[in-house]
Amino acid sequence: MNTQTAPLIEVQSVSKIFGSVIALKDISMKVHAGKVMCLLGDNGAGKSTLIKILSGVHQPSEGQYLFEGNEVHFTSPRDALNVGIATVFQDLAMIPLMGISRNFFLGSEPTKGWGPFRRFDVKHANHVTREELARMGIQVRDTGQPVGTLSGGERQSVAIARAVYFGAKVLILDEPTAALGVKEAGIVLRYIAQARARGLGVIFITHNPHHAYPIGDHFTILNRGRSYGTFAKSEISREELTGMMAGGEALEELSHELAEFARTDEKASVVLAEAAHEFEAEADQLHIEQLPPAFEKEEHRYD
C-alpha cells in the first residue's frame, strides 16, 4: 500500500472484550496527516478503551490496527511511541514541583559529560524547551519555573509541544479541555490547530461538541461501545452532532420532562402566590386587631 496516501492510523472493525463485558464492538476509524479527528461520546461510550488500544496499552480482541498502511501489534505504549504515536493523557504525566524544561525532557533527558560525571544538560534543555514552546506560540519567562505554577492550558501546551518535539506523527489528546475554563480551552484548541498545521494527525477526544466542532475535520461518535459512524464536517451540523451524542430519544424524553416541569411549576407559582396573599391579609388583620390605637398612630408617623 502506498504510505503517502494511506491514513496515518486506521482501525478496521476493532472490538475489545473484557471477560463477559463488550467494551467496544466493530469500531472503524481513519486519521490522516494534517487533519483533526474528533472522537466524541458521553461517559461510558468507550472512548478511553479505544484510546488505550491506539496508544498500545490494550491489544484489540478483534479487528485490524494499521499504521501508515501496515498492520501493527503494539505490546506497550513504548511501541506506539517509537513509531510516532504520542498520547497526552488528562494527568499530563508531569511532576508539578519540577521545572518546565525538566518536565519537557522527562524520561529522555539530554546529558553531558561521561561516566560518573554524566549529568543533565540544563543549558541545552532550557534552550530547546524555550525554542519549541515559541514555535507553538508560547512565551515563558523562565523554563526553570515549576510546572505547577502554570495554568491548565499552559500545561497542556507544554505536553503538546513535548510530543511534537520527540517526533510524533499522530497526537492523541485525552479530553484536554475537560477541566478548563472557556479562555483556557480556547488556548488549547489553538495549539491543536498549530499541531495540525505542522502536518500531524490529531485525535481529539472529548464529550463537548462545542469544543470539537470548531477545530475538527472529521467526527467519530461512540455510544455504549458502538460507533454511530464517521462524518466529515460538511456532512453534519453542531446540533446534529449534539443530538447523536446524547441520543435523540434521550433528548426528546428530557424535552417532555422539562415541559411537564414548566407546567407544574406554573401551577405551583399560582398556588404559592394565593397562599402568600392570604398570609399577608391575615397578618394585616392581626396587626390592626392587636396594635393599640395610640401605638398605631405613632407607627404611621414613620411611614
Residues 107 and 178 in one domain: yes
Q: How many CB atoms lie within 10 A of CB 123?
A: 11
Rounded distance between C-alpha atoms, residue 280 and residue 276, angstroms = 6
227 and 276 in one domain?
no
Same domain, 271 and 241: no
Same domain (yes/no): 274, 229: no
One domain, residues 283 and 137: no
Closest residue by Cα to residue 200 from 18, 32, 10: 32
Q: Are residues 264 and 129 in the same domain?
A: no
In the DSSP assignment, the letter for residue 75 is S
Residues 227 and 260 both lie in one domain? no
pLDDT tens string 238-268: 888 887 776 655 556 656 666 666 667 666 6
- Which of 229, 246, 263 terminates a domain? The answer is 246
Please state the domain count of the chain.
Answer: 2
Q: Which amino acid is at 208?
A: N
Residue 79 located in a structural domain: yes
Cell numbers describing residue 240: 446534529
Give the model confidence (pLDDT) of 99-146 as tens digits. 999 999 988 888 888 888 888 889 999 999 998 888 877 788 888 899
Provide the domain limits for residue 278: 252-300
DSSP character for 239? H
**For residues 43 and 30, what is the distance between their CA atoms, to the nearest angstrom?**
22
Task: Provide the residue-wise pLDDT of the chain in tens; the chain has 303 residues.
Answer: 454 578 999 999 999 999 888 899 999 999 999 999 999 988 888 888 999 999 999 999 999 999 998 999 998 888 998 899 998 887 667 888 999 999 999 888 888 888 888 888 899 999 999 988 888 777 888 888 998 888 777 888 888 888 888 888 999 998 888 777 777 788 888 888 888 988 899 999 988 888 888 899 999 999 888 998 899 999 988 888 887 776 655 556 656 666 666 667 666 666 666 766 665 665 555 544 444 555 455 545 545
201 close to 54: Cβ distance less than 8 angstroms: no
- Does some domain include residue 102? yes
Q: Same domain for 242 and 258?
A: no
Helical spans, DSSP H, in the chain: 47-54, 77-83, 100-104, 122-135, 152-165, 182-197, 209-215, 238-246, 248-290, 293-300
Residue 1 covered by a domain: no
3-state class (DSSP) for residue 4? coil
Whether residues 111 and 231 fall in one domain: yes
CATH (domain of 230): 3.40.50.300
The verdict on 101 and 135 lying in the same domain is yes
Write down the pTM of the prediction: 0.75
In a domain, 4, yes or no: no
Asked if residue 196 and residue 159 are part of one domain, the reply reads: yes
The residue whose grid cell reads 472493525 is: 13
Residues 180 and 256 in one domain: no
DSSP state of 60: -
